[in-house]
Structure 1
Amino acid sequence: MLHNQRAFSLIELLIALSISSIILAVSGSYAMKTYDTLQYKQFIKQFHQDLLYLQQLALSQEGNFYLHFERQHNRYQIRKGGFGTKLFVRTYPDHWIVEPNTLKLPIEFSHKGNIKRPGTMQIKTRFHTFYIICPFGKGRCYDAS
């Protein structure tokens, strides 16, 4: 009697499906972590540029300019004169938590280009926690992650 063995057995099929589902689950979580890191890198690049812009405004313009965080609306903005004229607004993802650890908000630069109230800020994303340090006597903030 001849046996025709052209099909896979149920056990072979279940093993192949379980291996492929494990590979998909691992690659999906890796992709989410990578996307989270890329989002932060884009944010911090823009944030550094905005701080440099704020510093240039403090050096070259009359009046005070401030960077305000509106954490309940997941955004920050640069304004002239406290709650005066809004120059621009930047948003960040809804699931991020921005906490000014020792950094006193709003961020403001002196007419010499130094940050007035230095400190650290913490940004919590889904998978990471990042720290931004704004040291005394410096005109820039640094990513400590």
Structure 2
Amino acid sequence: MISVKSAKGFTLVESLIVLSIFLLLTLFTWSNGSAIHERKVIEQFFRQFQNDLYYAQQYAAVHRETVYVFVSQDDSYYRIDRAAFKGSLVQTSYNEDIVIRPTTMSLPITYYPNGSIKKGGTIFIDYKEETYKIVFTIGNGRFRVEKL
């Protein structure tokens, strides 16, 4: 028969120490992971939105037709349409926590057949507790994003 004293294994205290260290590491990873996720959501939104705006401008210039960028704030998506109901080019959904607020920029954003924008202005983007500003300049239709 095997004696209990000669059996090899871990004590309850050792097992609890290892388990508590594992739980602490998991907790730190979990809390940092959500902050990284929130930052990546807004970064991805701006990357995609900028690319789609450039695409709308280039499509208008190359195909010599007016292009509109419609924003549906209630349904959290935007859509790029060709003029005269010729069809949509792009429809992109975005996170429901992102709020697009046109201020001096009227919606839809319109690109003329030469690639210029109809009207310059500003659009504010709110996400969680951060606010960003997109400024559209008159003329060549370029824009810039600023964090407030």
Scaled to the shorter chain, the TM-score interval is 0.7 to 0.9
CA root-mean-square deviation: 2.7
Moved more, 87-96 or 131-140: 131-140
Unaligned runs of 5+ in 1: 1-6, 9-15
How many residue pairs were aligned?
131
State the 1:83 CA deviation.
4.9
TM-aligned CA distance change 1:70 to 1:83, over 3 Å:
farther
Structure 2 counterparts to residues 74-113 of structure 1, below 5 A: 74-81=76-83, 83-113=85-115
Query: TM-score, length-normalised on structure 1?
Result: 0.75
Deviation sequence 1:94-133 (CA, Å, 0-9, x none): 1221111111111112233221111111111113111111
Unaligned runs of 5+ in 2: 1-11, 14-19
What is the one-letter code of the residue matched to 1:113? G
TM-aligned CA distance change 1:49 to 1:38, over 3 Å:
same
Quick check: 1:66–1:108 contact (8 Å CA) kept in 2?
Answer: yes
* Greater Rg over alpha carbons, structure: 2
TM-aligned CA distance change 1:83 to 1:105, over 3 Å:
farther
Deviation sequence 1:38-89 (CA, Å, 0-9, x none): 1111111111111111111111214321010011110000011165411221
Equivalent residue, structure 2, for 1:126: 128
Quick check: 1:133–1:141 contact (8 Å CA) kept in 2?
Answer: yes
Distance 1:144 1:137 in 2: 20
Quick check: 2:72–2:78 contact (8 Å CA) kept in 1?
Answer: yes
Query: TM-score, length-normalised on structure 2?
Result: 0.73
TM-aligned CA distance change 1:55 to 1:92, over 3 Å:
same
Distance 2:64 2:135 in 1: 27
Structure 2 counterparts to residues 1-145 of structure 1, below 5 A: 24=27, 28=31, 30-81=32-83, 83-145=85-147
What is the one-letter code of the residue matched to 1:50? D
Distance 1:66 1:41 in 2: 24
Quick check: 1:119–1:133 contact (8 Å CA) kept in 2?
Answer: yes
